[in-house]
Structure formats: C-alpha cells, structure tokens
Amino acid sequence: VYDTVRQIPHQRVTTYGHIAKLIGMPRYSRHVGQALKFLPPSTTPPIPWHRVISSSGAISSRGPGTDGAQRQKDALEAEGIEVTEGRTGDFRVNLGRWGWFPTSVGGEDEDGEGEEDAEGEDEEEEGDEEEE
C-alpha cells in the first residue's frame, strides 16, 4: 500500500479502491484506509496519505470534533489541488480533473489521468483515512 501511495504524483489524487486494485486486492479498499489511518507521521520517506480519497471524490469526516478532514483539505490545497465544499459541508475533489488512475504502477500507464470506472469498487467507510 505505502509503496503504491508514494507513486501518486504531486497535484493528483486517487481512491482507496484504486490503490487496492493496483496492489492486486480490488475488494479491500477499507484495508487501504486502515493502513493509511495507522501510518506513523514520522514515516521516511513520507507517504502522501492526503492524496487518497473516497471514490465519490469526498474527503471523509473522521467524526465529530476531529480535524482530520480539514488537515487533508489543507494539504491538498497546499499542492494546488482545488477542494470544494459539498452541499452537506463535506470537502470534495473533482476526480475528473485531479484524478490519477493508472492501470498498473511501475509500468506503461503511469500517467493515469481521468476518472476511473468505479463499478464494483468496494467503498470505504468514513474515518478510514490517515489521521496523523
């Protein structure tokens, strides 16, 4: 998971489900979220956990009274990625514009620009991403 997340280019995002597909475990997006959630902040080289979001383009809330979604929004905006606020107050990223969806990593299709086909993707639950 970590090696694959490290390959997400600056100013790009991808989804938990797409990382799961890239590592050969397409139905384990929640596990990807858990791996990032428990990532020690001192990991070297750094892992850009903030570049992994839900398949809907939303930054998941980490629950009442937490600031994880705000920290992820701030980190993405610091890279130049546009984050908008949805109707329900959630933060969103346009996957069609900012998405990175290669068919493999370390291979020929590393650009992987554009939105992925989310058919059959196992959606993660809220709070499955990194909270440093």
Q: What is the pLDDT of residue 127?
A: 42
Long-range contacts of 91-96 (CB under 8 A, 24+ apart): 91/58, 91/59, 92/56, 92/57, 92/58, 92/59, 93/13, 93/53, 93/57, 93/59, 94/57, 95/13, 95/15, 95/57
List phi, psi (to 5°) of 106: 75, 10
Q: CB atoms < 10 A from the CB of 31, how many? A: 18
Angle at 71 between CA 121 and CA 24, to 5 degrees: 25
Tens digit of each residue's pLDDT, the chain (132 residues):
999 999 999 999 999 999 999 999 999 999 999 999 888 888 989 999 999 999 999 998 777 777 889 999 999 999 999 999 988 889 999 999 999 999 998 754 445 555 444 433 444 433 444 433
Longest distance between any two alpha carbons in the chain, whole Å:
43
Q: What is the pTM assigned to this prediction?
A: 0.80
DSSP 8-state symbol, 30:
H
Helix or strand holding residue 85 (H, E): strand 84-85
Identify the sign of the CA torsion 48, 74, 97, 95: positive
